[in-house]
Chains A and B, each alone.
Chain A
Amino acid sequence: MDGELLYTRVPDEELLWHPLGPVTLVYHVRSGITHIVMEPVPEILAAMGAGPIGAAAIAVNLAQRFDLPPTDANALIGARLAELETLGLIERAARRA
């Protein structure tokens, strides 16, 4: 297995955010698709900063504000990142050596 996957967020101006109670609406300007997401997706995207960043570093950022499960946090965040890439809300940047 190669190194950890790194991702960047799509440019901020391409996403319109609208919190709506427990869900958050995300309108992707380029595709015209509206996504309805729940935690931890908005939190993960906020923790990504300017990127590129991988699951482990995101877990460190999130752990400063939330109680994360001690063992499988990286795997959980990695799975969400893969979903977000499929949706086009983040882009794969590189693979850490």
Chain B
Amino acid sequence: MHEFRVRVGPAAFRVGSAWKAPIDALRRLYGDYPEPALVDFTVRLDPARPWRRYVRPSVLIAGDFMLPDAAPLPLAQGLLAAEMGMNMQMALGWRRHLLLHAGAAEKDGRALVMTGHSGSGKSTMAALLGEGGWRFMSDEFALLDLGLGRRADDKTAAAASQESGAILPFPRLVSLKNEGIGAMEQRVPHWRLGPRLRGTPKGDVRHLVPPAAAIAKMDVPAAPRLIVFPRFGEARAVRTVAPGELFMRLTQASTNYVALGQAGFAALAHFCQTVPARAIDYRNGEEGVELIERLWEEAP
């Protein structure tokens, strides 16, 4: 069994694999990330059947938390399997923060949160912002602080930002998909890109190493200032999302809201009361970034 360990923000992972290739890819792309001694989650990449380790190798994603009907992937998509396995552990097992299926970026010490369905463009948008004056925080999960475990006498800046329900970074590799791949290939050096994985369940996928500053500041939270619901490929439009609708949509965008009980309710209700929300439609990445920059300037 080949093994790799990595910490991304507050979460530490161990990935064990029956094959060497996915681990080599992880080591290269996560080369600048810290290696933890202890881990929160274990992901295993196992052969779907014993002989499928050698014959048409087929990767089954296993780990501490598993979906019973997860379909195996070909070995060529082993890197994607590892990433999906790490996401699955977070989605099903994380309890220390409210998990929002959202991208996030930071500017001027405050956080922008972007949430939407797969294909809405939040990964590409988070990556584009990360190359253009923002600190990339996450393309998949925004972690909302629950305000638990804080000492009453802690007057540090980090504690102050947590007071208002800060967003914590989770800057794992950006999972670029389809049109988003071309947009980023023109902007970043080749070494920051993983192999192009064709014909995956999500279409073509290519992983991107976040900017060095995003990795260096993976433990620095930011108080939220604006949340947007991007929708790619539609005529330009902006709509205000009322706090009640925001709450309902975010409970749907959270995989652990129900599990967190009262703490999750208090954190999310506070977020929805204090953070302005906009739904934006945009035709391409440039238009999306321009809209977000304008809304950011207008936000209180």
Contact = CB atoms under 8 A, between A and B. Distances in A.
Size class of A's contact patch? 10 to 19
A22 B244 CA distance: 8
Given A32-B258, A32-B261, A20 B266 contact: no
Q: Specify which of B247, B262, B265, B272 lies most central, judged by the most chain A CB atoms within 10 Å of its CB.
A: B265
A21 B293 CA distance: 27
Contacts of B247: 20, 23, 25, 36
Q: How large is the interface on B (under 10, 10 to 19, 20 to 34, 35 or more residues)?
A: 10 to 19
A18 B258 contact: no
A27 to B, nearest CB: 4
B151 to A, nearest CB: 24
A27 B265 contact: yes
Nearest to B265: A27
B220 to A, nearest CB: 29
A32 B257 CA distance: 10
The SS class assigned to the A binding surface is strand
Interface string A23-64: 101010100101010000000000000000000000000000
A36 B269 CA distance: 11
Contact of A22 (B242, B262, B266, B273): B242
A16 interface: yes
Contacts of B248: 36
B87 interface: no
Interface of B: 242-244, 247-248, 251, 258, 261-262, 265-266, 269, 272-273
Interface of A: 16, 18, 20-23, 25, 27, 29, 32, 34, 36
Shortest 9 CB-CB contacts between residues of A and residues of B:
A23-B244, A18-B269, A27-B265, A20-B243, A21-B243, A20-B244, A32-B261, A25-B269, A21-B242
